[in-house]
Amino acid sequence: MVKRDTERAEAMNTFNIPYSLTGDTRFSFVAVFRESTEYCRLFTLPFDMIAICVRENESDPSRAEVLERGECFPFHCNDISLTTCDTPMRYRYTPANEHLCIHFRLELFPGVDVFSGVRRRFVENSPELRREGEAIFAETDPILMLSKCREFALKICHRH
């Protein structure tokens, strides 16, 4: 009987291939916000961050510094940055600049981030991704907006 069912399924070209979910990650938001403010602070935050620079002022730029590496990143319009968890940073933000921010955790296991031990800041300049980010933050339905933020954050993480 089993052999006939298998032959019939093969003849119909149907199949079911289960995939193990033991490697599934857990995504959770910490904060989602738009920011244009002024401060200079040192941070070593226990979560990952994406910042989308939508407005800059070359005469008064905001910047981020990776303290361990001595790297300085001035914010430029269209910059999409991913800062991994536990990266010691110094931020200098000026109100002439505007950022869309997604703070989140992406964990392999509870408390173990996908980027644990990486401690880096990745930056790419992409007008297309900036426009996508602005469209997401312009969404009026909060559930849809957060769903799109999650999708955007995962897309950026997959790139790195």
Decide if 66 is inside a domain.
Answer: yes
Closest CA to 130 of 57, 58, 79: 79
Q: Give the chain's domain count.
A: 1
Residue 110 sits in which domain range? Answer: 28-159
Decide if 3 is inside a domain.
Answer: no
For the beta carbon of residue 101, count every other beta carbon within 10 angstroms.
18
12-55: pLDDT as tens digits:
778 788 887 777 889 999 999 999 999 999 999 999 999 999 99
**CATH code for the domain of 131:** 2.60.120.10
pTM (two decimals): 0.86
83-121: pLDDT as tens digits:
999 999 999 999 999 999 999 999 988 889 999 999 999
DSSP conformational letter for 29: E
135, two tokens = 């469209």
